[in-house]
Amino acid sequence: MPFPTTASEDLFTRARAVTPGGVNSPVRAFNAVGGTPRFIRSARGAWLTDHDGNEYVDLICSWGPMLLGHAHPDVQAAVQEAVARGTSYGAPTEPEVELAEEIVARAPVDRVRFVSSGTEATMSAIRLARGFTGREVVVKFAGCYHGHVDPLLASAGSGLATHAVPGTPGVPASSTDLTIVLPYNDRAAVEKAFAHHGDRIACLITEAAPGNMGVVPPEPGFNAFLAETCSRHGALFVSDEVMTGFRASRTGQWGLDGAVEGWRPDLVTFGKVMGGGFPAAAFGGRADVMARLSPEGPVYQAGTLSGNPVATTAGLATLRLATDDVYTHIGAAAETIKAAAAEALAAAGVPHAVQAAGTMFSVFLAEGPVRDFEDASRTSAAGYAAFFHAMLERHVYLPPSAYEAWFLSSAHDDRAVQTVLDALPDAARAAAAAMEDQ
Ligand SMILES: *Cc1c(COP(=O)(O)O)cnc(C)c1O
């Protein structure tokens, strides 16, 4: 069932002439799956419409933010009202206070500071952790993504090297010399790193539940172990909830482990859902740590559009509408799609692992369980490319990369879910055929 893509092809040609790779964030270019990226003209509820007029059920939701679906009427009304009052003043506003109050009420933070992207949030959290502790080393996990922050674009390096190496050209070795990269879910590796370098470690940063290598949930007690290890060594535990915050559950991943087990991270980063589809992110945490931040304390951090009134209005409207019912609905839709995906892949004989963190999930085309980045890397790229295109032809827009979470919204109704279920068996067979050809 081929459908027209000439309008997207034309736009892609024009885009490549003026923008590297034709996109403003690499994964949008479809490099991992091939083909022409669809240029989206509009979206409503669970559906995207491209420039050729094709419609797709959206399983990306802007990579997480659109928890309520696209163009939610109440969010739209709040934003239109905000725009009518002017769009940026460079002075404090009421929506910033209200959004900060909402976040403090839900998440394990005493104070928050707004920024414009998740990258800025993690970058600033690390600067604050270094400023607070007077130490410089940062520990992270392979496969966890924290935005394009120099010291965090690091890979473990070879053999027994302690210090990480730059993960991309343009990052100086001096940035990653102070980074240690460990395998996820590996307590022994964490113990060892802290035993050797504990008095130099400013912080450990981790995705609260990794979603950027596909969804790889923390093993039971792993986050508690990290928090305890950091505290024992005088390092800060930075929980990156940019993806999971107000998404995995009403209270993020922390609501699924920390709130139950009785521990709190020292710093938390947020983004995605809290911006309601606008550029807004935040970092927050313990009052005594946040008090070190300028202008209260000496650690400098600032932003022209930080706490922008339109963005914070959108975020506030979104969080206020993100009730328990929303998470129950998304959780139920996720269960239906997870079960159908596993059944279709099993019937087609494709090795697979369906993994979840709260209402977030992803599908690996590899034998599970997937515990870390090395396991995730075994997913079949060719199989996923075939699966992705078969779904797209059947009007389902999956992430164009095998290493991403699938996102749903409260607008994913029976018709949207049924469109996904109808597409899965053929897509599973397409994946099986591609994997046999290898
Ligand atoms: C998306 C993401 C970021 C980066 O956020 P941007 O707004 O894209 O800069 C950081 N951490 C995690 C866990 C993310 O998923």
Q: What is the pLDDT of residues 351-395, one digit of tens each?
A: 999 999 999 999 999 999 999 999 999 999 999 999 999 999 999
**What pLDDT is stored for residue 297 in this prediction?**
98
pTM (two decimals): 0.97
Per the annotation, the verdict on 257 as an active-site residue is: no
DSSP secondary structure of 115-136: ESSHHHHHHHHHHHHHHHHT--
Options 272, 327, 372, 384, the catalytic residue: 272
Options 50, 58, 140, 145, the catalytic residue: 145
pLDDT band at 163 (very low <50, low <70, confident <90, very high): confident
Q: What is the mean pLDDT of residues 268-290?
A: 98
Lining residues, ligand 1, CB within 6 Å: 117-119, 122, 145-147, 207, 212, 240, 242-243, 271, 281
What is the C-alpha to C-alpha distance for residues 312 and 106, in angstroms, rounded to an integer? 16
Nearest-CA residue for ligand 1 atom 10 is 146
Instruction: Determine which of 95-104, 135-144, 156-165 has the lowest per-residue pLDDT on average.
Output: 156-165
Q: Which of 363, 333, 349, 321 is nearest to 75 (CA)?
A: 321
pLDDT band at 156 (very low <50, low <70, confident <90, very high): confident
| pLDDT higher than 60, residue 161 | no
**What pLDDT is stored for residue 380 in this prediction?**
94
pLDDT band at 101 (very low <50, low <70, confident <90, very high): very high
pLDDT band at 430 (very low <50, low <70, confident <90, very high): very high
pLDDT tens profile 12-22: 999 999 999 99
**What pLDDT is stored for residue 158 in this prediction?**
64
First-to-last C-alpha distance (Å) of the chain: 25
Per the annotation, the verdict on 240 as an active-site residue is: yes
Q: What's the mean pLDDT when you consider all of the chain?
A: 96
What separation in Å is there between the alpha carbon of 254 and the centre of ligand 1?
A: 17
Per the annotation, the verdict on 272 as an active-site residue is: yes
pLDDT tens profile 196-224: 999 999 999 999 999 999 999 999 999 99
Test site for ligand 1: of 126, 146, 362, most ligand atoms within 8 A of the Cβ:
146
User: For the chain, which domains are there?
Assistant: 6-67+323-436 (3.90.1150.10), 73-321 (3.40.640.10)
Beta-strand relationship, 137-141 and 201-207: parallel
What percent of the chain lies above the pLDDT cut of 70? 98
Q: Give one word for 349, left, alpha or beta, with left for phi > 0 and alpha for psi -120 to 50.
A: left
**What pLDDT is stored for residue 354 in this prediction?**
98
